[in-house]
Chains A and B, each alone.
Chain A
């Protein structure tokens, strides 16, 4: 009795989250895994234990194609975010003299996260559409004379939209990593004969790699599972894996295949996360 009473607060602190995770994460995963072995039988599906759904995914070229497309889009989004975020974070940490401006610019990157995701994706519809801001601008400066529909409903629009939505997740870890680098390391590098570019290449960049790895992991995984942007700005060839999964659970009414797709997707994402984690641990990127 005494033992229970003494351990009760600890048990509660640990127990509630464990229960929560079990109920709302592990259990649903279990259900999805179970479903992935079931059999589609018109009009619904029946319990079974067979690998037919997985075989379909890896043999039917249309699923492979969607996987590759999703991979391509996610990689492009990660790269685009990196190319924009790194110089920005670098400027904020090392070049921005005014602390007020730095805070203000950093908040400007973070602030969109407080706005509804749907709204942020929708913004690009109004920017890139035929009646949109971009077309009006191009017409007003005389570059084109008819509104063009080449900007919206394609993979380009999707990459632009996803980059805009997920770039804070690239800026934040890079900013944090750069901020942790002592200024005197670049001074030491300059002192030892290296110009600014070589100092950056040999000292600043390697030391910021943990942040870059974290940023890539976050933006990649978030884009990999996205299904709103393809839906809003993606167009006919813009279906991503998450859209296909949504369809299987909706219109197609093929939960077993949808579950199997979700499991494959989960494996891909978990692989990426554990790879980046291991890279960081091995100290390949940065010191301790």
Chain B
């Protein structure tokens, strides 16, 4: 696979103190689905807009299929964008909106009609060709925006929070649809989102951004299972953080003492005893022990709170030092047929050593 987009040391400094994007280098392979993930203000949208040509970087270079396009205006780049609120032209019909991008390609009438039909059929809305965008629902407009962007057959499709304006149910459905569309058209997709689920479901690779820099990039499962920092662990999924000190470190295993418990974890680092670290625990990896059952990393505590979320329960357990660890309990039976833990009862929980994250320093976000 060849690189289609190369971002080389891209920076966007609005002023010496206001920095949008800071020295970011990313390479996107042809046909890949890459997501830029981060909270608002982390620079992900600015980065996308620089790829589209709507903003100029203050440093670095952007290459599209090997050609330097850093200073090219949007209309000279073979990339197309799906805008956050779709930016459909209200004075044109759906068909005219989709055909708009073909005006400069010097196609004949039949070719234009064919391409419009193909693009609209791809998103299943060819029957709306003569309607105005404002007559359509949010989800339909979203699809028209997609059709309008892919009709030019760009090298790269940019998606700026494409699903954020849709309601939850439709968003879930569109995530899958977009993923299938990506597989079907074979164009490289670069998407910006602040929704971690969206990023995990749709992308081949996720680039997590933090204050203008890349925090970590990799496959969704790598980011989820091996977060490089508490920031990533906290942004993707839920993590409980406990500060502690290394008490022992030998042969790929480290033992950390926190105020309320001892944790054994697998590691490829070597820590010297006494070093300050932070332990990270995912609630869904923590399980409740049955009476008499023994396991590694057994912790005792008291149930402080029970949160019901349909699929299961998230239970807050208070340790002896007052720290709280969250643990998930799936509900195989209906709530009325389940034996529920009561608040205040002592309980024992455990987590496998290969599921414990250890971060250097007292770095809980």
Contacts of B88 in A (CB 8 A): 188
Q: Is A203 an interface residue (CB 8 A)?
A: yes
Q: Is B134 an interface residue (CB 8 A)?
A: yes
User: Which of A182, A192, A198 meets B148, CB within 8 Å?
Assistant: A192
Interface size, B (range): 20 to 34
Is B54 a contact partner of A202 (Cβ separation < 8 A)? Answer: no
Q: Is A286 an interface residue (CB 8 A)?
A: yes
User: Which of B89, B90, B132, B152 meets A193, CB within 8 Å?
Assistant: B152
A287 to B97, CA, bound (A): 13
Contacts of B84 in A (CB 8 A): 184
Interface size, A (range): 20 to 34
Contacts of B75 in A (CB 8 A): 190-195
A193 to B85, CA, bound (A): 20
Stretch at the interface among B6-14, B100-108, B269-277: B100-108
Is A287 a contact partner of B134 (Cβ separation < 8 A)? Answer: yes
Mark interface residues in B79-107 (1 if CB within 8 Å of A CB, else 0).
11101110111110000000011011100
Mark interface residues in B250-293 (1 if CB within 8 Å of A CB, else 0).
00000000000000000000000000000000000000000000
Q: Given known contacts A287-B132, A287-B134, is B74 in contact with A191 (CB within 8 Å)? A: yes
Nearest-Cβ distance from residue B316 to partner chain A, whole angstroms:
44
A194 to B105, CA, bound (A): 10
Is B104 a contact partner of A203 (Cβ separation < 8 A)? Answer: no
Residues 106-138 (chain B) with a chain A CB within 8 angstroms: 132, 134
Is A184 a contact partner of B83 (Cβ separation < 8 A)? Answer: yes
Give the one of A187, A190, A193 with max B CB within 10 A: A193
Is A191 a contact partner of B90 (Cβ separation < 8 A)? Answer: no
Is B134 a contact partner of A193 (Cβ separation < 8 A)? Answer: no
A11 to B83, CA, bound (A): 50
Q: Given known contacts A190-B74, A190-B75, A191-B74, is B91 in contact with A206 (CB within 8 Å)? A: yes
Is A203 a contact partner of B101 (Cβ separation < 8 A)? Answer: no
Q: Is B31 an interface residue (CB 8 A)?
A: no
Nearest-Cβ distance from residue B307 to partner chain A, whole angstroms:
40
Is B80 a contact partner of A287 (Cβ separation < 8 A)? Answer: no
Nearest-Cβ distance from residue B189 to partner chain A, whole angstroms:
15
Give the one of B53, B81, B83, B91 with max A CB within 10 A: B91
Q: Given known contacts A184-B87, A287-B132, is B100 in contact with A189 (CB within 8 Å)? A: yes
Q: Is A127 an interface residue (CB 8 A)?
A: no
Q: Is B66 an interface residue (CB 8 A)?
A: no
A189 to B100, CA, bound (A): 8
Is B89 a contact partner of A191 (Cβ separation < 8 A)? Answer: no
Q: Given known contacts A188-B81, A192-B148, is B90 in contact with A202 (CB within 8 Å)? A: no
Q: Is A288 an interface residue (CB 8 A)?
A: yes
Q: Is B41 an interface residue (CB 8 A)?
A: no
Is B74 a contact partner of A187 (Cβ separation < 8 A)? Answer: yes
Nearest-Cβ distance from residue B264 to partner chain A, whole angstroms:
53
Contacts of B132 in A (CB 8 A): 287
Contacts of B101 in A (CB 8 A): 192-193
Contacts of B149 in A (CB 8 A): 191
Q: Is A23 an interface residue (CB 8 A)?
A: no
Nearest-Cβ distance from residue B71 to partner chain A, whole angstroms:
14
Is B105 a contact partner of A185 (Cβ separation < 8 A)? Answer: no
Residues 191-243 (chain A) with a chain B CB within 8 angstroms: 191-195, 198, 202-203, 206-207
Contacts of B100 in A (CB 8 A): 189, 192, 194, 202
Nearest-Cβ distance from residue A180 to partner chain B, whole angstroms:
10
Is B83 a contact partner of A187 (Cβ separation < 8 A)? Answer: yes
Is B104 a contact partner of A288 (Cβ separation < 8 A)? Answer: no
A198 to B103, CA, bound (A): 10
Is A191 a contact partner of B73 (Cβ separation < 8 A)? Answer: no
Nearest-Cβ distance from residue B285 to partner chain A, whole angstroms:
42
A182 to B88, CA, bound (A): 10
Is B89 a contact partner of A203 (Cβ separation < 8 A)? Answer: yes
Is B148 a contact partner of A287 (Cβ separation < 8 A)? Answer: no
Residues 103-122 (chain A) with a chain B CB within 8 angstroms: none
Is A184 a contact partner of B152 (Cβ separation < 8 A)? Answer: no
Is A188 a contact partner of B105 (Cβ separation < 8 A)? Answer: no
Nearest-Cβ distance from residue A25 to partner chain B, whole angstroms:
36
Contacts of A195 in B (CB 8 A): 73, 75
Contacts of B52 in A (CB 8 A): 191
Nearest-Cβ distance from residue A226 to partner chain B, whole angstroms:
34
Residues 201-224 (chain B) with a chain A CB within 8 angstroms: none
Nearest-Cβ distance from residue A255 to partner chain B, whole angstroms:
49
Contacts of A202 in B (CB 8 A): 100, 103
Given contacts A187-B81, A194-B100, 12 further A-B contacts (CB under 8 A): A182-B87, A184-B85, A188-B81, A188-B88, A191-B79, A192-B75, A194-B75, A203-B89, A287-B91, A287-B132, A287-B134, A288-B90
Q: Please list 19 pairs of residues, one from A and one from B, whose beta carbons are closer than 8 Å in the complex, sorted by A's number.
A: A187-B81, A187-B83, A188-B83, A188-B87, A188-B89, A191-B75, A191-B79, A192-B80, A192-B100, A192-B103, A193-B75, A194-B100, A195-B73, A198-B103, A198-B104, A202-B100, A206-B91, A286-B90, A287-B91
Q: Which 10 A-B pairs have the closest CB atoms?
A: A287-B90, A192-B101, A193-B104, A188-B87, A190-B74, A184-B87, A190-B75, A191-B81, A191-B74, A193-B75
